[in-house]
Amino acid sequence: MKVVLATHNPHKVAEFQQIVAQTRPDLEIVAYDGPEPVEDGVTFADNALLKARAASAHTGLTALADDSGICVDVLGGSPGVFSAYWAGQRKDAAANLALLLDQLHDVADPHRTAHFNSTIALVTPEGQEHVVVGNWPGRLARAASGGGGFGYDPIFIPDGQDEGAERTVGDFTAEEKQAQSHRARAFTELVPLLERL
């Protein structure tokens, strides 16, 4: 089965392809080259559905779209749906990360809790729509670490690591990230829906 992933972000395409290869090798994720809709939703689900509907309509294929971001508890869940634009409209990942670290510079470690959210929308050419959510809890480091991942990965320390061996997602291998990430968790929720198509 061929499914189009409604994103022009090559990092997301590669990440989804790796996740799918581990759980649904019969599913072929193809990149989307059509027009991008304006992401003017106020929730992750709103934006994921906007993108999936546009990609399905443009390609005639079943479409998946992920809208994701980092939600910081002390900031009331921000940057949240605005994660990609936190430092302005240029979608500058380095500037976004630097701004978030600056905003939290005097926040004590116990209050640096956060989670990554991935909301995936599935839209079929026949108009069926489904939305699933995956959350990855953790906290934010005081400085970026590691050369892996993208976006806020270098400052996110996932829960569940051994004491004293805590690493950011930037320090993870691609395989480690794909096994635990918010997208992997959301995709696990999506598998039963895909099996029914």
Q: Active-site positions?
A: 67
- Positive or negative CA dihedral for 170, 173, 174, 175? negative
Task: Tell which residue, 43, 44, 71, 80, has the closest CA to residue 156.
Answer: 71
Task: Tell which residue, 144, 143, 142, 153, has the closest CA to residue 182.
Answer: 153
Q: How many beta carbons lie within 10 A of that of residue 148, not counting itself?
A: 17
Task: Identify the residue whose tokens are 């019969």.
Answer: 26
Q: How many beta carbons lie within 10 A of that of residue 174, not counting itself?
A: 12
